Chain A
């Protein structure tokens, strides 16, 4: 239940934002984070953005996801 997914803000209107999760669009509430901006990545849980990632945090996400690319074939299959 505590699942939260990273998503990018593609539209912003007051406390409501449209976010994109790998292309799928959804409207969420951004009341729980400070100063959301267009293009930023947020963590979304139950219709609310609960955290905002800065550029370093997005880079950290890419590092972690990149590690999956190094999984040896015999493990991946």
Chain B
């Protein structure tokens, strides 16, 4: 099928639907890919892509950032993190600002690099900031398991890992969210497989299509969602067949189950969602920074004008936030959605805002 044939099919399906349709791209990587490729401009006027809560940095609570900042102020602690978290504002400061005044904050490409730091500096506690969904969590689980096996007692993880299905359910229960189908996160699904979305189609009657990240993948995913809506069915389908299998990555699933257990987790914008987080099992408590280093999570302050929470639920567009593009820009962000490379506000600012202006 050519590009024109595919976009033509989407327009034909949208005409058959005959009403406004709201499709959520759950994953932040989809959000960025949609903006970067310009595919939103190709869609019919009645097909709306809305961004979901799938940017891990964006949904991480401010009190987690505050706890990480507190760790950087301890003389014997090195904090290792993916670069995304560096500029996220805490209540008063950010990891980047703490690093500028002498905090030992290292950017790493993989949690394995953090474990390596711990091996190289046995007198320091190395704390990796464990943020991310099912795609990232196995890589962290592997390093906790390895540290336990090798007795690297100075390697710890400050754990805020989250899982997608219950957050998607929370959106469906929220009466303010208009949602006709999910473009499900492709790389989360590489690990989990397809099964975990079945309850959404069965109990909430919303089509789900696991989708890849090339522009043509996303157009195919949109066409598959619209075809289900036209046919009046709700199923879990897989557009990303080259990477996602029904059963997922069993090795990664076993590691997740070995190291983590489900817990309630607090999501920015969605509140506490039961069973939506991953906590380090007591067996690995020596590598749990919250336990081993006595980290406490205190009530945080967020800017009262920041609407990141509503943006993450898909209830408002970034341009509806009073701070967007004025007080809050990528150079001086107030909220995490403007910081992260895959944050919805950052995507709107970089690709959409100037076009609309």
Query: Interface residues, chain A, CB within 8 Å of chain B?
Result: 1-4, 28-29, 31-34, 43, 45-48, 50-51, 53, 56-58, 60-61, 64-65, 67-68, 70-72, 75
A1-B135, A46-B109 known; 14 new pairs, CB 8 Å cut-off, are A1-B28, A2-B29, A2-B132, A2-B185, A2-B187, A29-B142, A32-B252, A47-B112, A47-B139, A57-B242, A64-B214, A64-B242, A65-B214, A75-B3
Name the one of B3, B110, B340 contacting A67, with C-beta atoms under 8 angstroms: B3
Cβ of B132 and Cβ of A1 under 8 Å apart?
A: yes
Complex interface: chain B residues within 8 A of A33 (CB): 249, 251
27 contacts between A and B (CB under 8 A): A1-B55, A2-B185, A2-B188, A4-B187, A31-B142, A32-B142, A33-B249, A45-B135, A45-B136, A45-B139, A46-B82, A46-B111, A47-B109, A47-B110, A47-B111, A47-B113, A48-B110, A50-B190, A50-B249, A53-B243, A60-B241, A61-B242, A64-B212, A64-B214, A64-B216, A68-B215, A70-B3
Complex interface: chain A residues within 8 A of B61 (CB): none
Question: Complex Cα distance A53/B217, Å?
Answer: 17
Interface size grouping (class) on chain B = 35 or more
Question: Complex Cα distance A67/B139, Å?
Answer: 33
Majority SS at the chain A contact face = mixed
Nearest to B85 among chain A residues (CB) is A1
B89 at the interface (CB under 8 A from A): no
Complex interface: chain B residues within 8 A of A3 (CB): 29, 187, 213, 342
Name the one of A32, A47, A61, A75 contacting B249, with C-beta atoms under 8 angstroms: A32
Question: Complex Cα distance A57/B241, Å?
Answer: 8
B2 at the interface (CB under 8 A from A): yes
Name the one of A48, A53, A60 contacting B138, with C-beta atoms under 8 angstroms: A48
Complex interface: chain B residues within 8 A of A61 (CB): 242
B42 at the interface (CB under 8 A from A): yes
- Tell me the smallest distance from the CB of A24 to a CB of chain B, in Å: 13
Cβ of B3 and Cβ of A50 under 8 Å apart?
A: no
Nearest to B112 among chain A residues (CB) is A47
Cβ of A75 and Cβ of B190 under 8 Å apart?
A: no
Cβ of A50 and Cβ of B214 under 8 Å apart?
A: no
Complex interface: chain A residues within 8 A of B136 (CB): 1-2, 45-46
- Tell me the smallest distance from the CB of A68 to a CB of chain B, in Å: 6
Cβ of A70 and Cβ of B142 under 8 Å apart?
A: no
Complex interface: chain B residues within 8 A of A56 (CB): 242
Cβ of B190 and Cβ of A67 under 8 Å apart?
A: no
- Tell me the smallest distance from the CB of A65 to a CB of chain B, in Å: 6
